[in-house]
Amino acid sequence: MYSLSSKISYRLKIKLDQIENSFSRYVSIKLCRNEAKTYRKQVIALKGKSIIDRSLMREIKEYCRKVFGSTSYWPWIALYTELRGEFKRGWMPDDYYRFEFLTKMNPERYMKFSDAKTIDHKLFDGFIIEPLFFRTNGQFCLKDGTVISKSEVRSILSDMNEEIIIKPDNGRGGKRITFKHSSELRLDELPTDTDLLFQKVFKQHEELQKLYPHSVNTFRVHTFIDNQGTVNVKFAYLRFGRGGSRVDNSSSGGGWLFIDSDGTIMPHAYVDIGLEIGETHPDTGVKFAELKFPFLPKVKELCKRAHRSFPHTRVIGWDVCIDEEGEPKLIEWNANNPGFWVNEAHYGPFFDELLISKPTLVKKPKQKERLAAIH
């Protein structure tokens, strides 16, 4: 049996944890909404005017109140409206998507799997680009898990004589990715604060190489498992590098092109906050509408098959590259807040078929019940 002091300490810990989690959530939501307000100011400044008057703002807030339970969701819907040039019922604000919808669809214990790139080849064997080797817990391993010494790694590298890519295990947005020729890689100079994945630099399809040759230009496919258990492609878009960048992430300066459900490439490209950058690539001059991607059905089918093999999270964003023969391969996947809002703004709503309402609060057990559970 626990002593009275132990029970009091446990109750105090529970209460403090609740306060900490509640405050952390409050701060995260507030920062998210401030982000929308900042983006909206940028959009208005660049466009020269706002399309939202008092009447439309009242309509937006009333929509948020009726559908999501609070008018406080208005900043993202207002941003969508500025970008789209009109208000669309059925939109899901990004703060609801991140802090309500995804928390229900993607349980945290499974969602975090997508932050561990060094295990992707185990989860999606046959779908994903395999590693040369990886480093985890301070040890280098072959793809089958065999631990190898640094001297063996150096021997592998010296036999390769080609460029490789080094990715941090939990990297996002193309950050901290390194490109090195195998002969120039110094193992002792690698970062020590993360596990690392080592791969050969991918050689992409000529159509994507023509678009922009300095990065691997990837398709992002957003899949969702509906209430009937069917995997659906909610939307897809093509990301491409710009300005000499080796990565195609829009957060690192790249652009993106939306792909309609029938495979049509939309003629206008956008930057990360959804502003247009024209109908041709600014570096190569390639006209976006003239791009031909006959492999798109394969891309979508690959993502659906991969999602069926990992049904533990219902929303996943897949990054897919295309090899020189036109075969798609997964680069990585994201179940931890896969990008949503800018596509929702321009081409959504994507989840309007769901009954989007204020989430039902689960009744928490009383403290006596919680204490009884630990005895």
Say whether both 190 and 210 belong to one domain: no
pLDDT of residue 119: 94
Residue 344's pLDDT band, with cuts at 50, 70 and 90, is very high
Whether residue 237 sits in one domain with residue 113 = yes
* 115 & 88 share domain: no
Domain count, the chain: 3
Alpha helices (H) along the chain: 4-47, 54-68, 74-84, 94-96, 102-105, 108-111, 120-123, 150-160, 206-211, 296-308, 341-347, 367-374
The whole-number average pLDDT for the span 61-78 is 96
Q: Are residues 180 and 321 in the same domain?
A: no
Total-model pTM: 0.87
Domain presence at residue 362: no
pLDDT tens across 110-120, in order?
999 999 999 99
Same domain, 96 and 20: yes
Specify the CATH number for the domain of residue 263.
Answer: 3.30.470.20
Q: Is residue 143 part of a domain?
A: yes
Same domain, 289 and 308: yes
Quick one: pLDDT band at residue 25, thresholds 50, 70, 90?
Answer: confident
**367 band by pLDDT with thresholds 50, 70 and 90:** very low
pLDDT for res 357:
46
Q: How far apart are CA 223 and CA 105, in angstroms?
A: 12
Residue 189 lies in a domain: yes
Q: Would 375 be classed as within a structural domain? A: no
Q: Do 189 and 291 lie in a common domain? A: no
SS3 content of the chain, % helix, strand, coil (to 5): 40, 20, 40
| Spatial CB neighbours of 31, under 8 Å, sequence gap ≥ 6 | none
Which segment of 170-179, 300-309, 324-333 scores lowest on mean pLDDT? 170-179
Which of the pair, 104 or 12, is modelled with greater confidence? 104
Range of the domain at 316: 109-122+204-335
Could you give the percent of the chain with pLDDT greater than 70? 88
Pair 215, 284 in one domain: yes
Give the tens place of pLDDT for each residue, 183-228. 999 999 998 989 999 999 999 999 999 999 999 999 999 999 999 9
Whether residue 117 is found in the same domain as residue 243: yes
Residue 225 in any domain: the answer is yes
pLDDT at 369: 39
- Residue 142 and residue 220 share a domain: no
Do both 158 and 89 map to the same domain?
no
164 and 293 housed in the same domain: no
Q: What average pLDDT is seen over the chain?
A: 89
Residue 373's pLDDT band (cuts 50, 70, 90): very low
Separation CA 119–CA 134 (nearest Å): 9
